[in-house]
Amino acid sequence: MAKLDYETAVQQEIAHLKKVHPKPEDIPSCMTLLDNFLSCHLFNNQMKFLYRYGHMAECAQKAEDFKFCLSNKSLHEEERYEAWIRHRAEWWAKRRITKSSEDVWEIRRCARFPKLYRGSSTHHDVGL
């Protein structure tokens, strides 16, 4: 798999986000982003995250999204839409080009793991 550069990833994400959110009305409002941020801090959500991932949920990105929304309130609706699409595309692009758990799945798809046979009680050196 060829390494993806940041600007290409941003452009791909912009194209994808414009398909998912074709109109300015489709982007979340500042109140929705505030609700997302506040719900991130709820006890049950924190415990669910702790159970699933072994650490508390990090809500900083949700706070950043809310602050970004507030900073764009004075823009025209179309400009606000373009700014939000760019903001989210940059976030997704950064996630795509940095290390993540998806890298493990890519390695697993490429690796040749030995076949395990049922009922075999002996362990053989598989020479990986």
By residue range, what is the domain housing residue 44? Answer: 9-98
Quick one: pLDDT at residue 53? Answer: 86
Encode pLDDT of 29-57 as tens digits.
999 999 999 999 999 999 999 998 888 99
Task: Provide the number of structural domains found in the chain.
Answer: 1
The C-alpha atoms of residue 59 and residue 41 are separated, in whole angstroms, by 7
Residue with tokens 């900073």: 71
Residue 12 token pair: 């791909």
Above 80 in pLDDT, residue 69? yes
Above 60 in pLDDT, residue 117? no
In a domain, 113, yes or no: no
In a domain, 30, yes or no: yes
The C-alpha atoms of residue 19 and residue 23 are separated, in whole angstroms, by 9
In a domain, 69, yes or no: yes
Q: pTM of the entire structure?
A: 0.70
In a domain, 117, yes or no: no
In a domain, 70, yes or no: yes
Nearest to 24 by CA among 65, 66, 85, 72: 85
Residue 92 token pair: 């997704």
Quick one: pLDDT at residue 128? Answer: 45
In a domain, 65, yes or no: yes
In a domain, 67, yes or no: yes
